[in-house]
Amino acid sequence: MAGSTNRFIVDASYVLSFLLPDENIKEVEETFYKLSTGEFRISAPQLLPFEVLNSLKVAVLRKRVTLQAAQELAQYFFNLGIVTLSIDYLKTLDLAQAEKITFYDASYLYLAQSQNLPLLTLDKHLENLAL
């Protein structure tokens, strides 16, 4: 994790790697443990719940989890305490165009840049853009 800050922006890939039972990444587990103890504060664009819940729906369709498990994971997600923030849509669109990335990814990158915070992501390209 970059720097000594205790504040981060997080994207859906990072959250889903924590929630889904078949993805175990030690660094991600440690991050969410520190979130649960109050040592870390994590924010994301308002898009995050849509991406997480859509991915849980897909996980059910692909039989990675049961519907009941997806519902429990969704509730757990909402209890994590990730704060959702607004973005500047036009500046985010400009960023998406300039970096040739999706608007979705640009929303995470925009927040990281505008808040001057590290971005927690498993997307290597997005991680490189955030540095």
CB distance 35 to 79 below 8 Å: no
Tokens of 125: 């390209």
* Strand ranges, E, within 21-126: 41-45, 83-85, 119-120
The residue whose two tokens read 């664009």 is 45
- Structural domains in the chain, sorted by start: 7-130 (3.40.50.1010)
pLDDT at 61 > cutoff 70: yes
With cut-offs at 50, 70 and 90, classify the pLDDT of residue 2: very low
Question: What pLDDT, on a 0 to 100 scale, did the predictor assign at position 117?
Answer: 96
- Residues 92, 109: Cα–Cα separation, whole Å: 8
* Confidence (pTM): 0.92
Question: What pLDDT, on a 0 to 100 scale, did the predictor assign at position 116?
Answer: 95
Length of the chain equals 131
Mapped onto helix, strand or coil, the DSSP state of residue 17 is: helix
CB distance 40 to 34 below 8 Å: yes
Tokens of 12: 């859906």
Please state the separation of Cα 69 from the chain's center in Å. Answer: 20
